[in-house]
A and B are shown apart, each in its own frame.
Chain A
Amino acid sequence: EAQVTQNPRYLITVTGKKLTVTCSQNMNHEYMSWYRQDPGLGLRQIYYSMNVEVTDKGDVPEGYKVSRKEKRNFPLILESPSPNQTSLYFCASSRQGHQETQYFGPGTRLLVL
């Protein structure tokens, strides 16, 4: 089944404790991206990747890192999480770029205490 998976789905952590949210797609998509969703603010793009080893900042990249060592994986790294990073995070992928249908993962709900 074609899908985007994220792990973990729920995470409670404390300020400053490094964490990684994994994202994987099995559709051989070139474009992958991370969004955060907050009440009243909608979805905001954090980082995106056009292909392996190519990553770029979105609208709200501060406090986040990403890597794209393989085509299928696009982990989101929070080196030192803070409470304002408490949010619902979505990974998405598409065949070639932002102008095509985006396939979203199920989301990761993060709480930073």
Chain B
Amino acid sequence: SQQGEEDPQALSIQEGENATMNCSYKTSINNLQWYRQNSGRGLVHLILIRSNEREKHSGRLRVTLDTSKKSSSLLITASRAADTASYFCATEKGNNRLAFGKGNQVVVIP
């Protein structure tokens, strides 16, 4: 079944460094979304990138989409302690459903 899968699963970096995480999916999509979740709280939408877009920016976030490889990456530049969270990609699963990956835990060390 189609589902976003993030890689790597866990990442620990120093404040100021960049963090990159990847997401792969299995079937064709119209768009892919990235969300952030702070510990035990609701998910917050970060970026939606459409299938005809290759790159999208939002502040310190940069998302790329490679439909030929069925993969997306999320780059957080100049990380801050407040970026410590889990990051999820979400893709369509057909039948009006959305599938989330298992999440990528990022720890930014001050």
State the A residues within 8 Å of B (CB).
4, 31, 33, 35, 40-45, 48, 50, 56, 58-59, 88, 90, 92, 97-107, 109
Known: A42-B102, A43-B88. A98 touches B96 (CB 8 A): yes
Shortest A100–chain B CB gap in Å is 8
For A104, the chain B residues whose CB sits under 8 A away are 35, 42-44
For B48, the chain A residues whose CB sits under 8 A away are 100-101
Query: How many residues from B make CB contacts under 8 Å with A?
Result: 24
CA distance A3 to B48 in the complex (A): 19
Known: A102-B43, A105-B42, A107-B42. A42 touches B100 (CB 8 A): yes
Beyond the given A48-B96, A92-B43, please list 15 additional residue pairs across the A-B interface where CB-CB is below 8 A: A40-B102, A42-B101, A45-B98, A45-B99, A56-B96, A58-B97, A90-B42, A98-B92, A98-B97, A100-B48, A102-B33, A102-B45, A104-B43, A106-B41, A109-B40
State the B residues within 8 Å of A (CB).
30-31, 33, 35, 40-45, 48, 88, 90, 92-93, 95-103
CB-based contact B102/A99 at 8 Å: no
Nearest residue, chain A, Cβ from B1: A59
Shortest B36–chain A CB gap in Å is 11
For A33, the chain B residues whose CB sits under 8 A away are 98
